[in-house]
Amino acid sequence: MALNETIYNSPVFQQACTQFDAAADILGMEAGLRERTKRPRRCVIVSMPVRMDSGKVEIFEGYRVQHNLSTGPAKGGIRFHQDVTLGEVAALAMWMSWKCSLVGLPYGGAKGGVVVNARDMSLTELERLSRRYMQEITPFIGPNIDIPAPDVGTNEQVMGWMMDTYSNHKGFYDPGVVTGKPIALGGSLGRREATGEGVAWFVKAYLQDMGIPPEKTTVVIQGFGNVGSETALALYHWGAEITGISDFTGGIHNPKGIDLKAALAYVAANKSLQGFPGGESVTNEQLLELPCTVLIPAALERVITGQNARKLKCRLLAEGANGPTTNEADQILSERGDIQIIPDVLCNSGGVIVSYFEWLQNLQNYYWTKNEVFDKLHRMLAKAKASVDETQKKYNCSRRTAALVLGIARVSEAKAKRGLFP
Ligand code: NAD
């Protein structure tokens, strides 16, 4: 991070703040409480020396931001990506606060990040970096303080190493410190699928409201990692046609439908979609402008922008990723009025809901079936959708602002009722 950079001038952080202000205006929040609710509580920066396979030592920078600790332990993923910044992590932590609150979880919001291109690391280097990061943030986290989970560039194995590092430090097996772990280490059945299952659940529910049946639904998805691929599978099994997918190397378009099994096998063997023969190659920019019923960004922030918002050709924009739509694009889409949006804090909330279930199972040492997990998940998603739809009508605002009003109101009320210490 450049020494003169602060989180407050990061474009992603500003995007989150503008969204916050629109909701706080509706709530009529007074200035003091507004700032207190908006600002992150703690931002930790760590510097991590890691021995590479060559014998050389490299220093990596990492972050953990705890945005809100007033309504329970903080919760949020850890991202390994070369472009991670503290401001981005702070924005993602803020969105986690509103998301957890919106769906009624007893958590605050947090996020972590490490500036690294994990794809260029060997497995042993990745393990040493993951353990070192956990070692550095151990004083600030724990099952009752802050519970990390996977995000872009991290997965079940990384969570397993982190849980092991923390447990070794404590001297006992303590699986509730992270979620998204392998099943053998206290992971929950259904967690791997949970975010995509939730995105697909909302897509189906809103398409039903719009009167569009599965056989008339084509889907384009940016990002073919955990969220993108699981969403694709869930919507395919429902009966929709997946006509576009992409990853960091570019996209594939096939109007007749992409063979998802073949695409997953190709990525497992080749580490990316590059060269996948199941369709025509397109760039990530072209992919977003393909004609389709549902467009699902499921990679990084700020991909739907002032430049492409007028060119989108979908009916429904389902935000699998966090923060994929800039405020300028949001404004353009609202003026267009022909594209419905399922905002990120609602759309991808299935992930943190099942992370919560995993944590509960860890704390109780009592494990549920996948059916139990999905049944409870679907009921929480239905409740969240109903309250967002009702709030949108009540305030005659966008669905994003309605979701944020619900999420932010509970956090600010808790802060006001707790008062100030001392
Ligand atoms: P992942 O690392 O499993 O997958 C990310 C995918 O995006 C990969 O296919 C990668 O190649 C692709 N990608 C990376 N850079 C890209 C670029 N510039 N253009 C196009 N594609 C690119 O990550 P994930 O866990 O699937 O997370 C994806 C998004 O969903 C993120 O915004 C994340 O914050 C959000 N999210 C994840 C979860 C979860 O449970 N994993 C929960 C809620 C929200």
Ligand 1: centre distance to CA 80 (Å): 11
**DSSP-based three-state secondary structure for 223:** coil
Task: Determine the distance separating the centroid of ligand 1 and the alpha carbon of 180, expressed in angstroms.
Answer: 15
Q: Tell me, what CATH number does 122's domain have?
A: 3.40.50.10860
* H or E element, residue 335: helix 327-336
159 and 108 together in one domain: yes
Distance CA(66)–CA(40), nearest Å, equals 6
CA distance 180 to 186: 9
Q: Are 222 and 246 in contact (CB under 8 A)?
A: yes
| 215 located within any domain | yes
Give yes or no: residues 174 and 239 share one domain.
no
Which of 351, 299, 341 shows the shortest CA–CA distance to 324? 299
| Residue 244 to residue 255: CA distance in whole angstroms | 8
Tell whether 244 and 139 lie within a shared domain: no
C-beta of residue 100 within 8 angstroms of C-beta of residue 75: yes
Number of Cβ within a 10 Å radius of residue 48: 18
The residues with which 251 forms a beta bridge, in sequence order, are 246, 282
Tokens of 192: 């791997």
Q: Which domain holds residue 282?
A: 192-347
Q: Which residues line ligand 1 (CB under 6 A)?
A: 150-153, 195, 222-228, 246-248, 284, 298-300, 320-322, 348, 351
User: How far is it, in rounded angstroms, from Cα 188 to Cα 125?
Assistant: 27
Q: Which of 321, 347, 373 is the last residue of a domain?
A: 347
Looking at residue 414, what is its pLDDT? Answer: 97
175 and 308 in a single domain? The answer is: no
Secondary structure element (H or E) that encloses residue 136, with its range: helix 123-137
Nearest CA to ligand 1 atom 36: 321
Residue ranges for the chain with pLDDT beneath 50 = none
pLDDT of 421:
85
**pLDDT by residue (tens digit) across 122-154?**
999 999 999 999 999 999 999 999 999 999 999
**285 found inside a domain:** yes
Write a three-state SS string for 262-315.
Answer: HHHHHHHHHCCCCCCCCCEEECHHHHHCCECCEEEECCCCCCECCCCHHHCECC
**Measured distance CA(335)–CA(126) in Å, rounded:** 45
Supply the pLDDT for residue 1.
53
Catalytic site positions: 111
pLDDT digits (tens, 9 = 90+) for 308-357: 999 999 999 999 999 999 999 999 999 999 999 999 999 999 999 999 99
* C-alpha 299 to ligand 1 mean position (Å): 4
Distance CA 119, CA 187 (A): 24
Between CA 212 and CA 31 the distance in angstroms is 43
Nearest CA to ligand 1 atom 30: 321
Ligand 1 pocket test, pick from 102, 103, 195 with the greatest ligand atom count within 8 Å of Cβ, gives 195
Mutation test residue for ligand 1: of 92, 231, 248, the one with most atoms within 8 Å of CB = 248
Shared-domain flag, residues 142 and 284: no
- Whether residue 78 sits in one domain with residue 180: yes
The verdict on residue 5 lying in a domain is no
Tell how far the Cα of 390 is from the centroid of ligand 1, in angstroms: 30
* Overall number of domains in the chain: 2
Structure tokens given for 317: 């924009």
First to last CA, the chain: 33
Structure-token pair, residue 49:
């020396």
Ligand 1 atom nearest the C-alpha of 344 is 44
Mutate which of 220, 227, 348 for ligand 1? The one with the most ligand atoms within 8 Å of its CB, which is 227
How many angstroms does the Cα of residue 300 sit away from the middle of ligand 1? 6
CA-349 nearest atom, ligand 1 = 43
- Note whether residue 24 is domain-resident: no
Nearest Cα residue to atom 2 of ligand 1: 152
Query: How many angstroms is it from 170 CA to the middle of ligand 1?
Result: 31
Look at residues 347, 380, 397 and tell me which one is the last residue of a structural domain.
Answer: 347
| CA–CA distance, 250 with 246 (Å, rounded to integer) | 5
Cα separation of 326 and 282, whole Å?
A: 23
| Residue ID of nearest Cα to ligand 1 atom 40 | 351
- Joined together, the tokens standing for residue 270 give 């080749």
- pLDDT confidence of residue 354: 98
Could you tell me the CATH number of the domain that includes residue 298?
3.40.50.720
What is the reported pLDDT for 6? 78
